[in-house]
Chains A and B, each alone.
Chain A
Amino acid sequence: MLYVEDVYKSFDGFMAVNGANLYVEKGQIVAVIGPNGAGKTTLFNLITGQLKPDAGKIIFEDEEITRLPPYAICKKGIARSFQIANIFPRLTVFRNVQVSILSQQNKSGKLFRSASNMAVKETYEILEHVGLKDIADHLAGSLSHGDQRILEIAIALGNKPRLLILDEPTAGMSPEETNRTMDLIKDLASARSLTILFCEHDMDIVFNVAQSIMVMHHGRTLVQGPPEQVKQNKEVQEAYLGGDEDA
C-alpha cells in the first residue's frame, strides 16, 4: 500500500533522514521505532508532504506522491495526527472534527449553507467511537492533554483515510492513558478496516500492537519485519535494546 524507497532529508547539513525504507501492507498495523532523534517524525513529515525529501521515492497505492502538497496527499487517502497536539483551539470539539469531514466531502467551499446541520451524524459517530461525544461542545483548547491527543486522531478519522499515520500517539500520556490509546488504535484498525502506521519510542507498547516493525537509527532503516524477528536482530539489540534504554 505504501512504499518509501531510499528517502533522504537534511537540515543545514544534518542528515535527519539518511536512507529510510519502509513498506506498509494493506490492513497492517506498522510501527516505526527508534530512539529520540532517530528521524521518525521527519520521515512522517516527508510521507505526508509537510517536508519535501532531497532524494527518494514515496509511493501510495501505486501512485507516486513524493512531492505533492499536504492537502493533495490527504485527498489521496492518507490522514495523520501530529506529535504535538495540533488542533483548532478556538473551535469546539465538534467543529474540529466537522471541518475535516467537510473537507473530505469536498464541501469546504460552500458559502451559503449553514454548516451547523451538515455532516452532523458523521461527526457524532466519530466522537462517539473515540469517546469524546460528551464534551462535543467544549472549546478544543480547553481539553486536557490526553483528550487533545485523542481529538487529533478523531480529526484524522474525519478524512475517512485508508492509511492513518500517527506520530507518537501516546507522547506525554500517563501509563493508563497510554493503554487506553493503544486499545483505541487496535479497535480503530479492526472496526474501520484501517491500515495504521505509527511511531513510538517506547518498545513495550509497540510489540503488543504492531504486526510489522521498522527500526530507525540515525536517520537510517536498520531493519523491518515482524516483532520476533526484529527482537532477535543483532544490530537492533546493539543500537537500541542493549546499552542505553532511554525510553
Chain B
Amino acid sequence: MGRWNRKTLLLCTALFVVLLLLPAILPRFYTYILASIFVTSLLAMSLNLVVGHGGLYQFHHCAFYGVSAYTVALLITKAHVPYWIAFGAGPLAAALVGFLIGWFCVRLSKLYFGMLQISLGSLIWALAFRWYSLTGGDDGIHGISMPDLISSTKNSYYFVLIVLTISLILMYIILKSPFGTTLQATRDNPERCEAVGINVRRHQLAALIISTFFAGVAGILYVVVEQSVFPDLLFWVFSLEIFIMCLLGGWFTFAGPIIGAAIMVSLRTFVGVYTEYWTLVLGVLLILLIFFLPEGVMGFVLDKFGTSATHRETGGSH
C-alpha cells in the first residue's frame, strides 16, 4: 500500500502542476469551464461524504450550497461587509442550516430522511425565489463585485483550484480519521455501531455539518466564478444532478464524484450547445452505467488497477 500511496501522491502533484499551468495556454472560455467543473466537483465531493461514505439519503444538498452563495452575495451587495468576512460567513451559514435540518433528519430512517430533506430544502428555495425585496426573486443577484486579486477569469481559476485542493486534502484526512472510519461503519451497519457504543445519530449529524460546510465552501467559489446567484442554485432538480454525479463517478471511492462532476458539466456545456435535450444523453449514459459499471467510473478503474482490499475501502486516490 505504501508504494501505491507514493504513486498517487506523485500523480496528484503532477496533476496539480498541470492544472496550475493550463490557464496560460487555454482560451478564456475553457478556463472558465474548468473552474466551473472544480466548483461542481467540490459540491459533489461534499455530498459524497454523507451519501457514499455515510449512507445518508441527502436528497437536497444544493440547498446548503445555495444558502452559502446567497449569504456571500447578500453580505457583499447589501451589507457591504469586507469580502473575506463574507467568504467566511457563507460556509458557516451553510453548516448552521445543515445542523438545523440535519437535527430533524437524522431522527428518521433512510427514505423518510430524504423526503424531509427535500421538503425543508425546498422551503429555503421558496424563500430565495419569493422574497423579492431581499433576494431579487427569480432574477437573482448579478454583478457582485470581487476583490481585484480574484476578479479576472484566470485569477478566479487559481483561487478556485487552490481552495478545492485544500478542501480535498481536508476531506481526505477526515475520511481516513477515526471519525471517517466510524462513519463508514455507520453506513454499513448502524445497528452494529450502536452495539459497539457509537451514538449513530450524533455521528451522522456531525457528518452532515461537515458535509454542508464544504458545500458552503463550494458556494463561495460559485460566487467567485459567476459573480451572480439565482434561485436555481437551490432547486431540487440540481440536487438530483449532484446525486447523479456521485453515482456516475462511483460513490464508494474518494475521487469518483470529481469525475462525475466533470462528465456532467462537460455534457451540459458541450452537448447542451447542440440540443437542449442534453439530459437524454445523460439518461442513456446512466442506463449504460448501471448495466456495465455499477460501481461507477472510479469504482471500475480501482477494480481493474487497484491492488489491495484496504485500498478499495475508501479508494486511495484523488
Contact = CB atoms under 8 A, between A and B. Distances in A.
A16 interface: no
Given A74-B197, A137-B308, A139-B309, A116 B176 contact: yes
A11 B124 CA distance: 41
Contacts of B192: 82, 86-88, 155
A1 to B, nearest CB: 19
Interface residues of A, number: 46
Contacts, number: 128
Given A71-B200, A87-B192, A139-B309, A95 B178 contact: no
Interface string B184-221: 11011101111111111001001000100000000000
Interface of B is mostly: helix
B315 to A, nearest CB: 11
B174 A111 contact: yes
B268 interface: no
A91 B188 contact: yes
Range class of the B interface residue count: 20 to 34
Interface of B: 173-174, 176-182, 184-185, 187-189, 191-200, 203, 206, 210, 252, 308-310, 312-313
A90 B309 CA distance: 9
Contacts of B189: 86-89
A113 interface: yes
Contacts of A94: 310
A108 B191 contact: no
B179 A109 contact: yes
A108 B203 contact: yes
Contacts of A115: 176-178, 180-181
Contacts of A86: 189, 191-192, 195
A99 interface: yes
A71 B181 contact: no
Interface in A99-138: 99-100, 102-104, 107-116, 118, 137-138
A66 interface: no
Contacts of A75: 197
Contacts of A112: 173-174, 177
A142 B308 CA distance: 13
